[in-house]
């Protein structure tokens, strides 16, 4: 039951606790229809031996309503490998479903919309990687997990935004070189280069969500909300990270907020991040700019 708007006993049982986590994003008028969909999806999961892996950028109704495992792309891929379910539904973009299939080849992996792409993943191809390797023979290729399967196939090792520095330094030691190819995110490469003595060969791929943030956005937030803590994703430009209080992956941001529970937080990332964390830490006030990922928003309860 949501503030006087009734649902059936079955739906109420299937959606227990969900309304309280998403009521800041869903109106009481919208809730009954969403609750019906959430209940139906949760029933289908049991019938089909399926689990839903929901990325941090999913809307709250998906994230809190039907996600069996929630997190960043690497965390979800690991859960895909660990899960005993026969079917994995990837509530995320296409490269994430590919990664889950790579790690769980024996399972059926589904994505609600095959058109849910990624500007960063589409910025580079396997042929591009072969060209880079020919141009820089002998250098290890470190690839961000936010890439397609054909790019990963040409790669020596993958990294995440959380461990990119460590992986780059490991690769340099293993290959006995002082220069490493890190693709495809240009800003992640620059931010890694600022934290290590290893020289970085970068590619000019960018995330359409994070590339649009500027240091001026941070300055404006500092003036408007002087006590707010500002957290930025490593895919942002380097001057944005320099101006923030903390830089980390979506999982690291979540851990930071849940552990410290600051009074006010600005998340320099995709809009749904704040909405989803708010469901678990309602006492935190999330403010400030966000950019929406059109590809992530192609995944809906309906599909």
Return the domain boundaries, the chain. 9-110, 121-202, 215-293
CATH class of 215-293: alpha beta
Q: Which pLDDT belongs to residue 2?
A: 44
3-state secondary structure of 110: strand
Structure confidence by residue, pLDDT tens digits, 67-115: 999 998 888 988 989 999 999 999 999 999 999 999 999 999 999 999 9
How far CA 125 is from CA of 77, 147, 174, 180, in Å, comes to 21, 9, 25, 19
Domains 121-202 and 215-293 share a fold: yes
- CATH homologous superfamily for 121-202? NadA-like (3.40.50.10800)
Q: Which pLDDT belongs to residue 154?
A: 97
Structure confidence by residue, pLDDT tens digits, 207-219: 999 999 999 999 9
Q: Which pLDDT belongs to residue 73?
A: 83
Report the C-alpha gap between 173 and 53 in whole angstroms: 35
CATH code linked to domain 9-110: 3.40.50.10800
Q: Are 77 and 105 in contact (CB under 8 A)?
A: no
3-state secondary structure of 252: helix
**Stretch 274-298: mean pLDDT, rounded?**
94
| pLDDT, mean over the chain | 94
Q: Phi and psi for 51 in degrees, rounded to 5?
A: -125, 150
Provide the whole-model pTM. Answer: 0.91
Nearest-CA neighbor of 277 among 292, 291, 289, 262?
A: 262
Report the C-alpha gap between 111 and 89 in whole angstroms: 6
Structure confidence by residue, pLDDT tens digits, 114-129: 999 999 999 999 999 9
- What residues contact 39, with CB distance under 8 A and at least 6 apart? 10, 11, 14, 15
Structure confidence by residue, pLDDT tens digits, 138-181: 999 999 999 999 999 999 999 988 899 999 999 999 999 999 99
């Amino acid at each position: 039951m949501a503030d006087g708007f009734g649902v059936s006993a079955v739906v109420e049982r299937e959606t227990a606790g969900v309304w309280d986590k998403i009521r800041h994003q869903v109106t009481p008028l919208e809730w009954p229809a969403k609750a019906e969909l959430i209940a139906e999806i949760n029933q289908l999961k049991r019938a089909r031996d399926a689990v839903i892996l929901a990325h941090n950028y999913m809307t709250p109704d998906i994230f809190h309503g039907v996600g069996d495992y929630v997190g960043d792309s690497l965390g979800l891929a690991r859960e895909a490998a660990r899960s005993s379910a026969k079917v994995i539904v990837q509530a995320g973009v296409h490269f994430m479903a590919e990664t889950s299939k790579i790690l769980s080849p024996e399972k059926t992996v589904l994505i609600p919309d095959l058109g849910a792409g990624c500007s960063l993943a589409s910025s580079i191809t396997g042929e591009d990687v072969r060209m880079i390797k020919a141009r820089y023979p002998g250098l290890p290729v470190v690839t961000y997990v936010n890439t397609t399967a054909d790019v990963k196939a040409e790669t020596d090792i993958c990294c995440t935004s959380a461990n990119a520095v460590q992986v780059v330094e490991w690769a340099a030691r293993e290959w006995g070189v002082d220069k490493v190819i890190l693709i495809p995110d240009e800003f992640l490469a620059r931010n890694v280069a600022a934290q290590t003595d290893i020289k970085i060969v970068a590619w000019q791929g960018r995330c359409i969500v994070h590339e649009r943030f500027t240091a001026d956005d941070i300055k404006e937030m500092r003036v408007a909300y002087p006590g707010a803590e500002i957290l930025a994703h490593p895919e942002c430009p380097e001057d944005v990270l320099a101006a923030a209080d903390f830089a980390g992956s979506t999982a690291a941001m979540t851990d930071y907020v849940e552990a410290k529970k600051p009074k006010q937080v600005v998340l320099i990332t995709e809009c749904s991040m704040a909405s989803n964390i708010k469901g678990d830490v309602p006492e935190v006030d999330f403010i400030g700019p966000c950019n929406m990922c059109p590809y992530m928003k192609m995944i809906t309860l309906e599909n």
